[in-house]
Amino acid sequence: MITFVTGLEGTLIRIQEDPEARYEFEIWFDYTRQAMNLIREGALLAVPNFASNHAESHRSILEVVSILPIHYALGDNPQGYPGFVVEAARSAVRDWEEQESEPTEDVTKIRCIAIPTNLEIVERDGQSHLQEESNLPMVGARALLLDTPSTEYVLNSGLPQGVPTFTVGNLVRDPLVGVKVSAEDLLRTHFAIFGFTGAGKSNLVSTLVDKVLNAFCAEEPLQEPPREQVKIVLFDLMGEYSVLLADWLVKSPDACLLVLTEETLPEDVLQFMEQPTNEAFSKALTALAQTTLYPRALIGRRSDFRFAWRRLLNPKSARVHLYREKPPTLGKLVERYWNPRGTLGKNDPKIRQEVRNWIATEDNTPFDEGSAPKLFEWIESMFDSGLLSTNDARESFQSLRDAADDAFRRYISPRHVHDAFQMTLGELVGRLNDPHSSGLYVVQSHDPDRLRDFAAMLGEVMFENRRKSGKINPLVVFVFDEADEFIPQRREGADDSYGRSRFVVMTLARRGRKFGLGVGIATQRVRYLDTSIMAQPHTYFVSKMPRQSDRQAIAEAFGISEELFGQTFKFKKGDWLLMSHDAIGLEAVPVPIHCEDANRRVEAFLDHLKAEWQRSREMVRTRE
């Protein structure tokens, strides 16, 4: 049963066609201070529509998107003799103040602009249900305001049943109303977060990851077929998520902080990874605590993060890994990189035989510091053998030598970190495809080019792997904070890491959906993004965007009126205009929500770890 706020009644004054929202409505309410606080952006109104008949009533549900108190004596644009204008304004203030809950003056009204939700309430014989709107609301009809339970019911009614959902935030105007999201639709059909710097994008990414993992990891009796799992890969250009997601890096069934380059980590941490002793451990924790980037709210907790990193760095259950590319064997290296062109001359068969022999005998010899000289010596011996009589023959071995040099630099690092702290691409792909647990993988590098190239490589491998195998589970989502650094606008003729990451992210965004691969992007620089990415996400979270061109780009891509972003100007940190074609109950209707502060969640987790550590210390002491 849909119920309404009592004692509050408006009138539908005007309907106007609107190219984006279909219609725009103007509704007036009598002004009272109480009403001003109740009717806010995001409020739902019910207005009788033309489908009503003597047997049943049909009421269209509209969403308020802007609201303005008007005073007849002042009008929209005060003009005239200044003394009169000021006098009129002063007397207006009395009208605002004196009408607390009873409207007594006809000169004051609340003017609301509303858009259709495309839903209607049908009431018949005391029963009511929601359905798709079947006709237009009637001008002059009474508008009633839905109360808290009914608002929550209508906002979430369109969500599918039996799938993981979570409450992403609460209505800004009524914190008692939770707004739900379907976790799978959010991820599979891609999401985007847009807001100016400091709006809270990274904080929201952390909150979304938390809620998604909670929704997928929620304990339930063993299901048949087993429930789907989710893997979140987060490309962390600023190195901020080891803090913002410290809790899930520690507690997720599967998690890793994958560091692509040694230079990303403090020297003390590398030394600990080489020789994991107790003394080195303490130094490594101190170095991490000192060099990590904290949001202002968590700087005071810096030393408490040691409790989290202690878990991540423990070699027995390490969750920090240095990326290591697995080198090909000596045989495979030659097979891959000896590609003769042109003519090898009269020794052609002999040269080819030599190469075949090498590939066969060294097929299983790992390429490492010990064995590498053998390869270089063999290449030299080929030059000395007198067999390379043509330029093309010599060139083929010269190219092989260059490739071996490259491989040496790439695969054979001077630092020998303990096996527990290494991870290869194959291992990561294996974990991403493992259907038994959900997981979080935060990828960091001090070098943005390496991060882009790694994103391109991982994206391509996962896409090809899924395309060929036809596998669609588990759901894997690639999240790009500072997305303009991964999907920038195209530049003519540029062949660089930007181009490579853009190509792969675009492929994932366009075609990943059917293979269970999703994309999430967050950025403040909408105009710097490749324009074709904009139409891909089906769910948007939008905060303040001071530039009109940014708002226009978002409105155009999503297919709503740019004026709807007017309400974002009032937004505080953590307020978002949520709109989605698939993942929320109302299709393509923006809902203003407030999301919780991720810092609070991380702090609570640190408290928990600290308490646990203190308890274990006490137990040790009592045993002694």
Ligand X SMILES: Nc1ncnc2c1ncn2[C@@H]1O[C@H](COP(=O)(O)OP(=O)(O)OP(=O)(O)O)[C@@H](O)[C@H]1O
Size of the site for ligand X (CB under 6 A): 17
Sign of the CA dihedral running 109, 112, 116, 119 = negative
Segment 174-233, which members bind ligand X (CB under 6 A)? 195, 197-203
Selected from 283, 324, 573, 581, the binder of ligand X by CB under 6 A is 573
CB atoms within 10 A of CB 123: 16
Choose the binding region for ligand X from 26-34, 229-237, 283-291, 594-602 (rule: CB under 6 A).
594-602
Closest CA to 190 of 509, 523, 487: 509
Binding piece for ligand X, criterion CB under 6 A, among 220-228, 291-299, 450-458, 549-557:
291-299
Binding mask 404-433 for ligand X (x = CB under 6 A): ------------------------------
Q: Which C-beta is closer to Mg ion: that of 239 or that of 328?
A: 239
User: Shortest Cβ distance from residue 196 to ligand X (Å)?
Assistant: 7
Nearer to ligand X, 206 or 536 (CB): 206
Instruction: State which residue, 109 or 201, has the beta carbon closest to Mg ion.
Output: 201
**Shortest distance, position 481 Cβ to Mg ion, whole Å:** 6
Q: Following DSSP, what letter does each residue of 269-320 receive, concatenated?
A: HHHHHHS--HHHHHHHHHHHHHHS---GGGGGGGGGHHHHHHHHH-GGG--E
Helix H, strand E, coil C: the string for 150-218 is: HHHHHHHCCCCCCCCEEEEEEECCCCCCEEEEEHHHHHHCCEEEECCCCCCHHHHHHHHHHHHHHHHHC
How far CA 84 is from CA of 78, 91, 97, 365, 435, in Å, comes to: 10, 10, 20, 95, 74
Size of the site for Mg ion (CB under 5 A): 2
Please state the closest distance from residue 573 (CB atom) to ligand X, in A: 4
Rank residues 268 and 482 by Cβ distance to ligand X and give the closer one: 482
Point out which span in 250-258, 412-420, 534-542, 593-601 binds ligand X (CB under 6 A): 593-601
3-state class (DSSP) for residue 532? helix
Q: Give me 434's structure tokens.
A: 């493992």
Are the C-beta atoms of 201 and 481 separated by less than 8 Å? yes
Q: Tell me the two tokens of residue 435.
A: 């259907």
Q: How far is the CB of 19 from ligand X (least distance, A)?
A: 31
Report, in Å, the least distance between residue 332 CB and Mg ion. 42
Q: Compute the distance between CA of residue 99 and CA of residue 81 in angstroms, rounded to an integer.
A: 28
User: Closest separation between CB of residue 198 and ligand X, Å?
Assistant: 4
Q: Considering just the CA atoms, what is the radius of gyration of the chain in Å?
A: 31
| Position among 54, 90, 296, 316 found at the interface with ligand X (CB under 6 A) | 296
The binding track of 227-266 with respect to ligand X, each residue x by CB under 6 A or -, is ----------------------------------------
Shortest spacing between CB 123 and ligand X, in angstroms: 39
Minimum distance between the CB of residue 155 and ligand X, rounded to whole angstroms? Answer: 20
Contact pattern from residue 514 through residue 533 relative to ligand X, giving x for each residue in contact according to CB under 6 A and a dash for the rest: ----------x---------
Closest C-alpha among 315, 312, 322 to residue 276: 315
597 near ligand X, judged by CB under 6 A: yes
Among 51, 260, 297, 555, binds ligand X (CB under 6 A): 297
Q: Distance between CA 315 and CA 579 in Å, rounded?
A: 44
**Residue 516, helix vs strand vs coil:** coil
599 binds Mg ion (CB under 5 A): no
512 is in the binding site of which of ligand X, Mg ion, none (Cβ under 5 to 8 A by kind)? Answer: none
Taking residues 501 to 540 in sequence order and writing x for each that binds Mg ion by CB under 5 A, - otherwise, the string is: ----------------------------------------
Site membership for ligand X, residue 574 (CB under 6 A): yes
CB of 201 to Mg ion, least distance (A): 5
Question: Which of the listed partners (ligand X, Mg ion, none) does 198 bind, with a CB threshold of 5 to 8 Å by partner kind?
Answer: ligand X
- Sort strands 539-542 and 191-194 into parallel, antiparallel or unpaired: parallel
Type and span of the H or E element at 553: helix 548-558
Tell me how far, at minimum, the Cβ of 537 lies from ligand X, in Å: 17
CA-to-CA distance for 569 and 29, rounded, in angstroms? Answer: 24
586: nearest Cα among 222, 118, 255: 118
Q: Which of Mg ion, ligand X, none has residue 573 at its interface (CB below 5 to 8 Å by kind)?
A: ligand X
Angle between helices 305-313 and 278-291 (to 10 degrees): 130
Q: Quick check: bond before 349 cis, omega within 30? A: no
Q: Which of residues 154-213 bind Mg ion (CB under 5 A)?
A: 201-202
* Cβ at position 258, least distance to ligand X in Å: 21
DSSP string, 308-377: HHHHHH-GGG--EEEE-PPPPBHHHHHHHH----S--GGGHHHHHHHHHHHHHHTTT-B-STTTHHHHHH
User: In the stretch 38-77, what mask flags binding to ligand X with x, by CB under 6 A?
Assistant: ----------------------------------------
CB of 459 within 8 A of CB of 478? yes
> What is the C-alpha separation between 168 and 187, in angstroms, rounded?
13
Give me the amino acid identity at 107: V
Task: Identify what 239 binds: ligand X, Mg ion, none; CB under 5 to 8 Å per kind.
Answer: none
Sequence-separated (6 or more) residues with CB below 8 Å from residue 287: 266, 267, 268, 269
Question: Between residues 62 and 237, which has the closer beta carbon with respect to ligand X?
Answer: 237
For ligand X, give the closer residue by CB, 4 or 294: 294
Closer residue to Mg ion, CB minimum distance, 241 or 498: 241
Assess 595 for contact with ligand X (CB under 6 A): yes
| Residue whose CB is less far from ligand X, 474 or 574 | 574
302 binds ligand X (CB under 6 A): no
DSSP 98-157: H-SSS---SSEEEEEEEEEEEEEEEEETTEEEEEE--SPBPTT-EEEEE-HHHHHHHHHT
Q: Where do contacts with Mg ion occur on this chain (CB under 5 A)?
A: 201-202
Interacting residues toward ligand X by CB under 6 A: 195, 197-203, 295-297, 524, 573-574, 595, 597, 599
